[in-house]
Each structure stands twice: as structure tokens, then as C-alpha cells.
Amino acid sequence: MKVNGKFKFNIKNTTKGFTLIELIVVMAIILVMASFLIPKFNGYRGKAQRLKVVDTGRQIYLTAIESYSENNGEFNNQKLLETSKELLGIDNLKILNEGENNFVINYNVDEKPYILKFNKNENDFCIEDTNGSKLYPNNIQSKADKGNK
């Protein structure tokens, strides 16, 4: 269009999209909501790590019992090491005999050391970290306490 020798263009001035303030507000809301979820995820990660430690200890215990039954009721530390490497792929076990019936096996999970203790005459085991904190079982009662209930 030509008006008095000058061109006039009809340009519609419509804004589409979001303003910078709106985007910042949305990002702030998302960050606040995410901050509520982070502790929950850390708790899940801790539980998963604990479960991995207990599961590895349980597998080592079952391997020890398997080795015990294969050797006619005798523990052979060398065969236990071979069996654990063959069945579990774990080759960094340290086996300590505490007497004739009690055994302590040191093992690592994610480069952290843990201790598996068991008695060959009982059907249970205990897992501790190096600080002495019991990871498994959770609620340990003495045999006298169990008998009173």
C-alpha cells in the first residue's frame, strides 16, 4: 500500500511464547518440587546398598554350606574359596576359623569390607560392617529372650 508516497505495512504485533519471568517461576517451582524428592531417592539408594551387602553375604553363606556338604561335613577353606569363585565370581574372601564350629568370612561389596559370621551347627548367620554395626539380621534377640516369649 502506498500512502502519500510512503509505504505502510500492516504488521500485527502479537506475542507468542512465554516471558522470561514466567520461565524463571516455572523453573523455581520445579526445583522446589525436586528438592523434596532427593532425600527419598538417597534413602532408596541406601536400602539398595544394604540389600546388596546382605544378598552377597547370604550367597557366601549358602556357598559355605554347599562346600561343607560336598566335603562330608568338614570345612575346607581352599575348597570354599574355589567354590565361591566358581559359583559367585567372588575371589576376595578371607576366611577365619574361630574354633571348630564358628567361622568368620571377610568380603567386600563395592570396595567396602563386611564380615559374615556363622556357626556350622546353627542355621543362621550375621553380617556386620567393620564398625561392628549389625546389618543382618535386623532384630537380634538372645536365645534366652526367645525362650521367655
pLDDT higher at 82 or 7: 82
What average pLDDT does range 66-87 have in this prediction? 82
For residue 5, with 0-12 CB atoms within 10 Å meaning exposed, 13-18 middle and 19 or more buried, which class applies? exposed
What is the residue range of 118's domain?
19-148
Q: What is the pLDDT of residue 143?
A: 43
In this structure, the dihedral spanned by the alpha carbons of residues 45, 50, 54 and 60, taken in order and rounded to 10 degrees, is: 80
HSE-up (13 A, CA, CB side) for residue 96: 8
Q: Let me know if residue 82 belongs to a domain.
A: yes
What average pLDDT does range 22-42 have in this prediction? 92
Confidence of residue 5 (pLDDT cuts 50, 70, 90): low
Q: Let me know if residue 3 belongs to a domain.
A: no
Q: Which of 12-21, 87-96, 108-117, 128-137 has the lowest mean pLDDT?
A: 12-21
Q: Where are the beta strands (DSSP E) in 26-133?
A: 94-98, 102-109, 112-119, 125-129
Give how many domains the chain has, as a whole number.
Answer: 1
How many angstroms separate the CA atoms of 102 and 47, rounded? 29
Q: Let me know if residue 99 belongs to a domain.
A: yes
Q: Let me know if residue 7 belongs to a domain.
A: no
Residue 88 contacts residue 59 (beta carbons within 8 Å):
yes
Q: Let me know if residue 10 belongs to a domain.
A: no
Confidence of residue 141 (pLDDT cuts 50, 70, 90): very low
Q: Let me know if residue 8 belongs to a domain.
A: no
